[in-house]
């Protein structure tokens, strides 16, 4: 029998973070969001709580928890705000996790303690201006210079979270490298490798922040590399294994995004219940109208089902079982549920739902990207179909 009841330590963590989100994040985040400012004060408090080190071993400064713990935290934070939630998600699952999964002992001891404490944030440089969903279409290159024992990186990345904050410490960059194997023409094969580039490295620059529809209190930028040199020892994992590495990282990250989306969907329920009880029209609370009740019932159904989906995927991951299909299902369903709930919550709030002072306006703006980031809804459907054994329809 599948049992999704939380263990006592997980439930205690969830309650602690729910209280923190309600009492610390919720009262402050609106101003950060309105002014498009990164919430350093909130991030520092989260670091002191150990949230950035949740799924990492204690020997590297982590909390010794698991991926389920991280996702529980993401859901509770996203229940009040997604900018803070995506900052944590990207810092852990995209910034620190590749080093934990594939780094050398020296790389782990150099970077993980500061990443786990929240002193530094990490970023993952994958998406490129002409790549999008085609992650294999990487154009950024890394050439090995034997004379200096360095990688020389050239290219650009776009839509990278946590890439240009005052506490960003590194970006792990996916780049084309040359293999020792030859292709049919006798030339070295091109393969994808991942390389750690510390902030401040000459030739590495981050653009000004994007002007975004949502996630306005998070940091998202374009990155450029112009003859950027880093030591050969900054190679993460094996040369040529970068593609396989980031596919695994993205599979895990989809569970985290599903948890975040579930939080947003549940936050829409919370706000709508409160508003429907307070707002009166035609002499009675609007929550007494069956049309409003049905909307909120459907919203709760979507949030509840989303939670079950990501719980299942996270459970498979934690127990070392195959989870690719379940992660795609969770990400697909929960992201679409978040968009639907945000739309309905805005409708329930009427004109007030269009005012930025109300959280549902922020939820509405933040929801759409969940159907795009870390694999679009179309990509998730493709992955699910493949896992079901259906052949690729491309010629």
Query: What local confidence, expressed as pLDDT, does residue 265 receive?
Result: 98
Architecture of domain 8-121: Orthogonal Bundle (1.10)
Mean pLDDT of 104-132: 93
For 373, counting Cβ atoms within 10 Å of its Cβ (0-12 exposed, 13-18 middle, 19+ buried), the class is: buried
Residue with the two structure tokens 């994808």: 192
Exposed/middle/buried for residue 197 (C-beta within 10 Å: 0-12, 13-18, 19+):
buried
DSSP 357-374: TSHHHHHHHHHGGGGTTT
Query: From the CB of residue 376, how many other CB atoms can be counted at a distance below 10 Å?
Result: 16
User: At residue 200, does pLDDT exceed 70?
Assistant: yes
The reported pLDDT for the residue numbered 185 is 67
In whole angstroms, give the CA distance from residue 238 to residue 215: 34
Q: Is the pLDDT of residue 391 over 80?
A: no
Residue 1 predicted with pLDDT over 50 = no
pLDDT digits (tens, 9 = 90+) for 359-382: 999 999 999 999 999 899 999 999
Higher pLDDT, 392 or 14: 14
**Residue 150 falls in the annotated catalytic set:** no
Express each pLDDT in 330-362 by its tens digit: 999 999 999 999 999 999 999 999 998 899 999
What mean pLDDT is reported for the chain? Answer: 94
Residue pair 307/262 in contact (Cβ under 8 Å)? The answer is yes
pLDDT of residue 133: 63
Compute the half-sphere exposure of residue 274: CA atoms within 13 Å on the CB side of its CA. Answer: 9
Which residue out of 31, 59, 374, 378 is catalytically annotated?
A: 374
- CATH class given for the domain over 244-387: mainly alpha
What does the pLDDT read at residue 198? 98
Question: Pairing mode, if any, of strands 121-125 and 168-182?
Answer: parallel
The pLDDT, as a whole number, for residue 4 is 75
Beta bridge partners of 290: none
State the CATH class of domain 123-239. Answer: mainly beta
Give the pLDDT score at 85: 98
**194: β partners:** 174, 236
Question: In whole angstroms, what is the distance from residue 150 CA to residue 200 CA?
Answer: 16
Which pLDDT band holds residue 268 (cuts at 50, 70, 90)?
A: very high
The confidence score (pLDDT) of residue 392 equals 66
Residue 232 reports pLDDT greater than 90: yes
Residue (of 231, 254, 233, 222) closest to 140 by Cα position: 222
- E strand segments, the chain: 121-125, 141-145, 150-161, 168-182, 188-198, 204-206, 220-231, 235-236, 280-281, 284-285
Q: What whole-number distance in Å separates Cα of residue 100 and Cα of residue 87?
A: 18
Contacting residues for 253 by C-beta, under 8 A, at least 6 apart: 89, 93, 94, 374
Q: Are 175 and 230 in contact (CB under 8 A)?
A: no
Q: Show me where the domains of the chain are located.
A: 8-121, 123-239, 244-387
Give 149-159 pLDDT, tens digit per residue: 999 999 999 99
At 188, is the pLDDT very low, low, confident or very high (cuts 50, 70, 90)?
low
Distance CA(296)–CA(273), nearest Å, equals 7
Res 189 pLDDT > 90: no
Percent pLDDT > 90 in the chain is: 89
């Amino acid at each position: 029998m599948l049992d999704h009841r939380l263990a006592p330590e997980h439930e205690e963590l969830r309650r602690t973070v729910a209280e923190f989100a309600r009492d610390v994040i919720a009262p402050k985040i609106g101003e950060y969001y309105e002014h498009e400012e990164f919430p350093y004060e909130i991030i520092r408090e989260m670091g002191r709580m150990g949230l950035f080190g949740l799924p990492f071993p204690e020997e590297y400064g982590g909390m010794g928890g698991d991926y389920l713990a991280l996702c529980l935290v993401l859901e509770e934070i996203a229940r009040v705000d997604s900018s803070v939630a995506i900052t944590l998600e990207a810092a852990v699952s995209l910034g620190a996790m590749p080093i934990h999964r594939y780094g050398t002992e020296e790389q782990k001891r150099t970077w993980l303690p500061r990443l786990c404490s929240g002193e530094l944030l990490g970023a993952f440089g994958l998406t490129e201006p002409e790549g999008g969903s085609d992650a294999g279409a990487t154009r950024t290159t890394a050439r090995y210079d034997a004379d200096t024992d360095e990688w020389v990186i050239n290219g650009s990345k776009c839509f990278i979270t946590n890439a240009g904050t005052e506490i960003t410490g590194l970006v792990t960059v996916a780049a084309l490298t040359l293999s020792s194997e030859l292709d049919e023409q006798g030339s070295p094969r091109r393969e994808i490798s991942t390389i750690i580039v510390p902030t401040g490295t000459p030739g590495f620059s981050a653009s000004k922040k994007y002007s975004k529809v949502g996630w306005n209190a998070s940091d998202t930028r374009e990155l450029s590399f112009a003859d950027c040199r880093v030591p050969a020892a900054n190679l993460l994992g094996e040369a040529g294994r970068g593609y396989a590495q980031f596919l695994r990282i993205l599979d895990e990250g989809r569970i985290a995004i599903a948890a975040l989306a579930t939080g947003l969907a549940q936050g829409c329920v919370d706000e709508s219940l409160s508003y429907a009880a307070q707002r009166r029209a035609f002499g009675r609370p609007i929550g007494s109208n069956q049309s409003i009740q049905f909307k909120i019932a459907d919203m709760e159904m979507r949030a509840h089902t989303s939670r079950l989906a990501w719980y299942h995927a996270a459970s498979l991951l934690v127990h070392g079982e195959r989870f690719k299909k379940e992660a795609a299902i969770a990400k697909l369903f929960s992201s679409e549920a978040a968009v639907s709930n945000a739309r309905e919550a805005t409708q329930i709030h009427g004109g007030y739902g269009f005012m930025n002072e109300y959280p549902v306006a922020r939820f509405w703006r933040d929801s759409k990207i969940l159907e795009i980031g870390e694999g679009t809804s179309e990509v998730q459907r493709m992955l699910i179909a493949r896992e079901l054994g259906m052949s690729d329809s491309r010629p």
